[in-house]
Structure 1
Amino acid sequence: MQNGYDIVIVGGGVIGMMTARELSQHGANVCVIDQADTGKAASWAGGGILSPLYPWTQNDAITHLAHWSQRAYPQLSADLQADSGIDPEYLASGLLALNVDVGEASAWASKWNIPLETVSPGDVQRLEPYLAESGQAIRLPDVAQIRNPRLLRSLRDSLDKRGVTVIENQAVNSIANDGTRVTGVVTDSGDISANHVVVACGAWTSKLLEPIGCPTIYPARGQMILLRTPPDSFRNIVLVDHHYLIPRQDGRLLVGSTLENTGFDNSTTDDAKTELKTFARTLAPILSSCPVERHWAGLRPGNDRNTPYIGAHPEMEGLYVNSGHFRNGLVLAPASARLMADLVTNQAPILPPQAYAIQ
């Protein structure tokens, strides 16, 4: 084997790159390997909402990760901009959710000490005048958003400046091991040795780890569209019936998203575009005249227990998994990366790790 590292991370999305950044801060010699360009899969395709959708319906394990990450994001965004010169465009825009169980949401907010505003139909119209729908709603004023592509570019530049090796367009075919412990990874161009391997390749995790054994992580396609809208048409992220509008600082509006079981097919479809346009234009008729500028798809890493896997592989020493975040990869990334780094470097973990362990 050649090119020995302390840690090889398989996957260059937001989870993999944030994990690499955390580990490099411990002085580790880290290499990130991605089968394509870094930051071009599910991490790039997401909407950028720094909150789980309907956070009051999530389990406590998700909520702990989300809250730690939400507290970390303002400083992380500033640090990444200082490192890279790229502004990730962190923006506390608030989230307005319509047609929800106000009692359930309020009870959750009280339990977790989260600011929540109950919004009457009239106040919905005052907050977002272009909405045609104005039923009972809640608003989470502290929910923020970030521009995924800019965040990912700033992360990549930060890794370069911290001396992390990044290998792109190189498939990892298998995990090299001696039967009980990892020795590195096997790539198309040869073997790379490492003392530890962290698998953070999202929907492709189960494919890579199948010979060793791993939890089931599967692809779930999501499609989004981007509308060119009049300036300042919307101020809040608007969430209705599992679809959403995300106003960007450049005046565009993201509309998402579908949830489809199509295997590893990440192509876009006319049916999805129609679904998203219909949602947007029904919710806000002003959007009927707004052209679609872009349409894309990504593959989220889903799993049946609805909690990501963050921890050591139970049967292979030196092997770790940080994957299965489904729709929450962006919002959970800082805490997931920090927890993973704590476990790899034998530090006191930021959160009890048992809820995320691989069974």
Structure 2
Amino acid sequence: MSEFVVVGGGVIGLMTTLQLADAGHQVTVIERGVCGRESSWAGGGIVSPLYPWRYSAAVSRLASWSEGAYPELAYRLLEETRIDPEYRQKGLLYLRVDDEERALQWARQVGKPLSRVGSEVIYAKEPAACPGVDQALWMPTLGSIRNPRLMQALRARLDNMPGVSILEGCDVTAMVSERQRVVAIETSQGRVAADQVVICGGAWSAQLLEMAGVQLPVRPVKGQMLLFKARPGLVERVVLMDGRYVIPRADGRVLAGSTLEEAGFDKQTDDQARESLRASACAIIPALADYEIEHHWAGLRPGSPDGVPFIGRAPGWDNLHVNAGQYRNGLVLAPASTRLLVDLLLDRPTIIDPAPYSLEGRVC
């Protein structure tokens, strides 16, 4: 029997496992596909909500803690695995923001460096940005991480930690319960006994919790992305305009995203989204029109009603816990979300007040 069974091998599941293993516990991860290949792989890796001043205080608290944790985590994983998650802290340019005053007021309230800059600063930082922009907002501290590399590094680290077992291609078929406890998980690879169960299934979390009679309001929300094979140095930092963004990688590749679609569990890409994303990317960085699109993909975000994740014990259960519903901010919120739940699991003082994320009163 594992002390903990973590269902879901995305960024939330693997970071949860890492922290539990760091604390000396035995953990079994059950992943329906391949670890890190769903929304954790599909996203862009910006270490901030796109427009952070438009989010609730509950999301902002998680985001702020996570932003401070990422540099250390990336360095740790590089040292331990020799896989570089490519954490880059080069700032973000916001072009054409229609609520600048609200943004600047938010920044003053939370002590975040955010300033209004003119064209001289804009084009000094991003010479290839669209011409004719007179002013923008500049956040110098924003970072990004190359999420596929992050997932590779997390997996590599866990493969070398005692007490960690990872079952991939393993579907959960039932939860075996006695009184108010889940005693085992039935899977396509057999029964897995557990003392504590943590559901980190992303967009599939609601389906998993239905097996325990818990109605979790998390749904899949599709997002499509493009990858341009651009030259190194064409774009140096994240640039955001009209809700779309470009994100540079160290090798010159540039991500462009993303769509927001209510399409159930459909992950197919389509030409209309491709052309819309390409047009948005080229509007931000016109020179991208000269580079080939190397890849076009879609992922499923775990959408929640208000974007506030569900973190904590499932109502009516003694040992069934949930960490899901980060919506568009799974990578952003992962370090804080997982640390908060692990604090609760291990009965430690929590990094922040867990009440806003509790399932009590929010699920049936």
Q: Which residue of 1 aligns with 2:348?
A: 347
2:76 partner amino acid:
D
Secondary structure in structure 2 of the residue aligned to 1:281? helix
What amino acid is aligned across from residue 320 of structure 1 in structure 2?
H
Question: What TM-score results when the alignment is normalised by the length of structure 1?
Answer: 0.97
Deviation at residue 117 of structure 1 after TM alignment: 2.1
Are the aligned partners of 1:175 and 1:209 in contact in 2 as well (CA < 8 Å)? no
Counterparts of 1:56-67 in structure 2, within 5 Å, are 56-67=53-64
Contact 1:99 1:135 in 2 (8 A): no
Distance 1:99 1:135 in 2: 9
Residue type of the alignment partner of 1:136 = Q
Letter of the aligned partner of 2:239 in structure 1? V
CA distance in 2, matches of 1:214, 1:198: 16
Task: State whether residues 230 and 251 of structure 1, in contact with CA within 8 Å, keep that contact through their aligned partners in structure 2.
Answer: yes
Distance 1:290 1:194 in 2: 51
Match in the other structure for 1:248: 249
C-alpha deviation, 1:172, in angstroms = 1.0
**Which residue type is aligned with residue 230 of structure 2?**
T
- Which residue of 1 is the match for residue 9 of structure 2? 12
Worse overlay, 12-21 or 175-184: 175-184
- What residue in structure 2 maps to residue 323 of structure 1? 324
For the residue of structure 1 that corresponds to 2:152, the secondary structure is: helix
Alpha-carbon contact 1:184-1:196 (below 8 Å) kept: no
Counterpart of 2:170? 170
> Segments of 4+ in structure 1 off by > 6 A?
none
**1:41 to 2:42 alignment:** no
For the aligned residue pairs, the C-alpha RMSD in angstroms reads 1.2
Matched, 1:51 2:52: no
Q: How far did 1:305 drift?
A: 2.3
Task: Give 2:66's aligned residue.
Answer: 69
* Equivalent of 1:115 in 113, 116, 120: 113
Q: Map Cα deviations across residues 104-157 of structure 1 (whole Å, 9 max, x no partner).
A: 111111111111121123432332222225143111111101111110011011
Return the offset for 1:285: 2.1
Q: Distance in 2 between matches of 1:170 and 1:97?
A: 42
Match of 1:29 in 2: 26
The total of aligned residue pairs comes to 356
User: Does residue 141 in structure 1 map to residue 140 in structure 2?
Assistant: yes
Q: Which amino acid aligns with 1:139?
A: W
Contact 1:312 1:357 in 2 (8 A): yes
- SS of alignment partner, residue 222 of structure 2: strand
Corresponding position: 1:93 with 2:94:
no
Is 1:264 aligned to 2:255, yes or no? no
Q: Could you say what secondary structure the match of 2:322 adopts?
A: strand
- What secondary structure does 1:320 align onto? strand
Equivalent AA in structure 2 for residue 102 of structure 1: E
Within 5 Å, which residues of 2 pair with 1:143-292? Answer: 143-163=142-162, 164-211=164-211, 212-292=213-293
Shift of 1:188: 1.3
Superposed CA deviations along residues 144-192 of structure 1, whole A, max 9, x for unmatched, are 0111111001101111222211110001122221131111211112211
Segments of structure 2 that go 5 or more residues without pairing to the other structure are none
Assess if the C-alpha contact under 8 Å between 1:8 and 1:184 holds in 2: no
Residues in 2 aligned to 1:203 and 1:302: alpha-carbon distance in whole angstroms? 7
Identity %: 43
Counterpart-to-counterpart distance in 2, 1:43 and 1:28: 24
Give the C-alpha shift of residue 94 in structure 1.
0.6
Q: Distance in 1 between matches of 2:165 and 2:64?
A: 30
Gaps of 5+ in 1: none
Give the counterpart of 1:105 among 103, 106, 109.
Answer: 103
Alpha carbons 1:8, 1:31 under 8 Å: kept: yes
Residue in structure 2 matching 1:129, options 114, 127, 130? 127
* SS at structure 1 position matched to 2:174: strand
Can you list the C-alpha shifts for 1:204-249, whole angstroms capped at 9, x where unaligned? Answer: 0111111421321000011111112233111220011111010111
Measure the CA separation in 2 of the matches of 1:77 and 1:40.
19
Q: Which amino acid aligns with 1:204?
A: W
